[in-house]
């Protein structure tokens, strides 16, 4: 059965690439339509693999920074099937076979993930994309995990947002058309196979971590049984312009972690707010 599923889905995957590649390349140069083909491709793959996506919470508005936990390369197809958006990816992704090309076609923002803050060029690039209404997804852990817990968020990844919101706040009298960037947490969890809740070991199988090679994991996903992925969109951060990057990372991590615990336990989804102490620094 697994062999038949793999053959059928691999054929569909290759057919979709063949059919959509040329139109995708053409639409890549038409800004208004550049998200059409990625959205169609991701939704086709979700259907082909028999994935059910259950979404709760307020959907992000245009121009939002969406901050998520990260389990696998397959997260990109799941999130990309929901709505038009792009991803913030580490610069190394550009060299990855197939996925690097797909990331460029999907108009991803590539940044150098290193100790310290983003460069002025990266800040300007993020600002331009968000201000023109593009929604961007940031995997704030900086790497993927087994999906059993949320790794600490890299606060340096929020320095660009802190900088942009400070600039808008201080220049508010002269820039009535600008508002602070909306920042919204999102929790993602692989929860059921064949509509039956997965245990810890089963959920770990979907994580793409460490030195795991892509091809075996890719075939594992193609041959796998029907899968349910649950997503919680948490409320956008309030008073985001008043928060430092460390406070943003702390609040968002709390939301995503509590959401993951709720999803994996089958508990109600609302997440209690995190009480912040101290002032912005």
Strands 182-193 and 64-68: parallel
Q: Find all residues with CB under 8 Å of 38, minimum gap 6, and list them.
A: 24, 80, 102, 105, 106
Alpha carbon dihedral 244, 250, 252, 256, in 10-degree steps, equals 170
What are the residues facing 196 on neighbouring strands? 193
CB 253 within 8 A of CB 80: no
Please give the mean pLDDT across all residues of the chain: 83
Alpha-helical segments (H) within 55-155: 74-80, 99-105, 120-131
pLDDT digits (tens, 9 = 90+) for 140-174: 998 888 889 999 998 887 877 877 777 766 665 55
| Range with the poorest average pLDDT among 7-16, 22-31, 100-109, 161-170 | 22-31
Work out whether the CA dihedral 196, 202, 203, 205 comes out positive or negative.
negative
**Backbone CA torsion sign across 94, 108, 102, 216:** positive
Give residue-wise pLDDT tens across range 69-120.
Answer: 999 989 999 999 999 899 988 877 777 766 677 777 778 888 876 544 556 6
Quick: pLDDT tens for 214-271: 888 989 999 999 999 999 999 999 888 888 889 999 999 999 999 999 999 887 666 6
Q: Where are the domains of the chain?
A: 2-265
**If pLDDT is split at 50, 70 and 90, which confidence band does 193 have?**
very high
């Amino acid at each position: 059965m697994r062999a038949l599923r793999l053959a059928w889905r691999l054929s569909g995957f290759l057919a979709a690439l063949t059919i959509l590649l040329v139109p995708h390349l053409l639409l890549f140069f038409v800004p208004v339509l550049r998200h059409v083909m990625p959205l169609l491709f991701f939704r086709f793959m979700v259907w082909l693999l028999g994935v059910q996506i259950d979404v709760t919470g307020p959907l992000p508005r245009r121009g939002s920074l969406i901050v998520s936990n990260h389990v696998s390369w397959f997260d990109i197809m799941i999130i990309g099937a929901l709505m038009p958006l792009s991803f913030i990816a580490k610069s190394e992704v550009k060299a990855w076979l197939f996925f690097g090309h797909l990331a460029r076609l999907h108009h991803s923002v590539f940044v150098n993930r290193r100790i310290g803050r983003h460069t002025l060029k990266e800040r300007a690039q993020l600002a331009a994309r968000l201000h023109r209404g593009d929604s961007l997804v940031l995997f704030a852990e900086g790497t993927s995990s087994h999906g059993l817990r949320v790794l600490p968020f890299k606060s340096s990844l929020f320095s660009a947002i802190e900088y942009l919101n400070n600039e808008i706040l201080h220049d508010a009298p002269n820039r009535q058309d600008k508002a602070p960037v909306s920042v919204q947490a999102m929790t993602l969890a692989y929860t059921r196979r064949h509509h039956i809740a997965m245990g810890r070991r089963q959920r770990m199988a979907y994580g793409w971590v460490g030195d795991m090679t892509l091809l075996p994991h890719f075939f594992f996903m193609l041959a796998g049984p029907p899968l349910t992925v649950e997503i919680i969109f948490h409320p956008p951060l309030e008073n985001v312009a008043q928060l430092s990057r460390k406070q943003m990372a702390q609040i968002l991590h709390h939301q995503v972690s509590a959401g993951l615990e709720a999803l994996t336990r089958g508990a109600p989804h609302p997440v209690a707010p995190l009480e912040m102490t101290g002032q912005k620094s």
